Amino acid sequence: MASSIICKPFLRATKPNSSLSPDLQRLHFFSLRISSKPRTHKKLQIQAAGSTFGNYFRVTTFGESNGGGVGCIVDGCPPRIPLSEADLQGDLDRRRPGQSRVTTPRKETDTCRIYSGVSEGVTTGTPIHVLVPNTDHREQDYKEMSIAYRPSHADATYDMKYGVRAVQGGGRSSARETIGRVASGAIAKKILKQFSGTEVLAYVSQVQQVLLPDGSVDHDTVTLDQIESNIVRCPNPEYAEKMIAAIDAVRIRGDSVGGVVTCIVRNAPRGLGSPVFDKLEAELAKAVMSVPASKGFELGSGFSGAFLTGSEHNDEFYTDEHGRVRTRTNRSGGIQGGISNGEIINMRVAFKPTPAISRKQRTVTREKKEIELLVHGRHDPCVAPRAVPVVEAMVALVLVDQLMAQYAQCNLFPINAELQEPLSLGFPN
């Protein structure tokens, strides 16, 4: 921009005295010539409000529950990774509606298309655009939502925040938004598996009062096939049947129940996470607590650790046969001081009962009139089974983001081989 010239009298200079000579007049009326540019204000940059996650592996989800479609943009994905729609479709199939009687009957294939960021079967390092169209949306099921607020939904708070909202299907507050999370999480899981042999697995460990006993699932050996062997995604067949029965009992009454999803991470690289505010468990907590209907988070011993003494809770160290420092127990949940220690990371996420139920409930209209409301539409009697791949996705997104941060800060130069190990080294089998 062009500069401007400003001339001002120096300090308290007065107008020239006409009785003085021209030279003295010039000295008497001394002027400062100041060159200045128009003042510019530094812009305050704000990240996209609530729709973008991650620092280095950045994911933005988009779309509405009953609009044209939903999806994600993944920015920061490393180049030259083999990737196809089939790599994403497996997890999307696990998340999609209409899988069984314990999920919503909405029929969607959730078929994904990759529109950018992949060329000749490999990632290019540029933004990856994934879209999943909506094909079975029924706007007529949501007429009541334009009039009254559904109890325990986001209808009222969206109006309080924005003064307007997408009525059909709940818009961005719908669980259908998680399609973008699962698609991007599938990419993250592939990176983790390829780079460090890291596996992220989740399963349902509780439905209402049906709770898996401690130790009933071996986290060292549990497999995806065991988890997917039944419609409730519990790897213990006996308890899976009890959980299904509990869901069926409320489903036929038009009600719903809550549940708990347990997630484990095997072969997690050591050193992920940062001290103080960016601890790994803090990042994981934020990630999984952003999943719709989530209400609680525990890592390792969680709240039960509050019942123990230090001598009972501490994880003692030892050196294994490979010369690696290990812990004899894992009440820390694989994270100490906010940093991964190489043990299995384990966490639990509690989900509330689905708020959309087929029973009359008291509420208020947008005009603040109290009425009774009967919610129509198709909803999950228990969200936990379909939340399993969503929790896996969010955990994987955190780990990839932290892996990139660790590689850039602490592995850019040769490591201290006496204390550190390459990030790509997994646990010996």
The predicted-structure confidence for 29-73, as pLDDT tens digits, reads as follows: 444 444 445 454 555 555 557 899 999 999 999 998 777 899 999
DSSP conformational letter for 427: P
pLDDT class of 8 with cuts at 50, 70, 90: very low
pLDDT in tens, 253-289: 989 999 999 999 999 999 999 999 999 999 999 999 9
Residue 29 domain flag:
no
Residue 425 domain flag:
no
- How many domains, in total, are found in the chain? 1
Asked whether residue 248 carries a pLDDT value surpassing 50, the answer given is yes
pLDDT in tens, 206-239: 999 999 999 999 999 999 999 999 999 999 999 9
Residue 429 domain flag:
no
Q: Which of 73-87, 100-114, 145-159, 207-221 has the lowest mean pLDDT?
A: 100-114
pLDDT class of 27 with cuts at 50, 70, 90: very low
Give yes or no for a contact between 378 and 384, defined as CB atoms under 8 angstroms apart: no
Residue 198 domain flag:
yes
Compute CA distances 247 → 54, 293, 356, 359, 385, whole Å.
35, 17, 15, 16, 11
Q: What is the mean pLDDT of residues 137-147?
A: 66
Residue 112 domain flag:
yes
Please enumerate in sequence order all residues whose Cβ is within 8 A of that of 159, keeping only pairs 6 or more positions apart, or say none: 149, 165, 366
Q: Which of 122-136, 152-166, 190-204, 400-414 has the lowest mean pLDDT?
A: 152-166
pLDDT of residue 43: 54
Q: What is the pTM of this model?
A: 0.86
User: What residue has token string 């602490």?
Assistant: 410
* Helix pair angle (178-196, 384-410), 10° resolution: 50
- Dmax over Cα atoms in the chain, in whole Å? 112
pLDDT of residue 428: 41
Please enumerate in sequence order all residues whose Cβ is within 8 A of that of 370, keeping only pairs 6 or more positions apart, or say none: 362, 363, 364
Nearest to 425 by CA among 331, 322, 350: 322
Which of the two residues, 18 and 169, has the higher pLDDT score?
169
pLDDT in tens, 391-418: 999 999 999 999 999 999 999 899 999 9
CB count in 10 Å sphere of residue 260: 20
Rounded CA gap, 390 and 185, in Å? 8
Asked whether residue 160 carries a pLDDT value surpassing 80, the answer given is yes
Q: Calculate the CA 121 to chain-centre distance.
A: 27
User: What residue has token string 């009254």?
Assistant: 148
DSSP letters for 153-171:
SSHHHHHHHHS----GGGG
pLDDT of residue 33: 47
User: What is the SS3 assignment for 390?
Assistant: helix
pLDDT of residue 351: 98
Rounded CA gap, 347 and 283, in Å? 12
Residue 47 domain flag:
no
Apex CA 43: angle with CA 42 and CA 46, to 5°?
A: 140
pLDDT in tens, 298-326: 999 999 999 999 999 999 999 999 999 99
pLDDT of residue 247: 95
Residue 64 domain flag:
yes
CATH classification at residue 90? 3.60.150.10
State which amino acid sits at residue 383.
V
Rounded CA gap, 355 and 256, in Å? 8
Residue 417 domain flag:
no
Nearest to 149 by CA among 134, 129, 165: 165
Which of the two residues, 328 and 6, has the higher pLDDT score?
328
Residue-range definition of the domain harbouring residue 402? 52-411
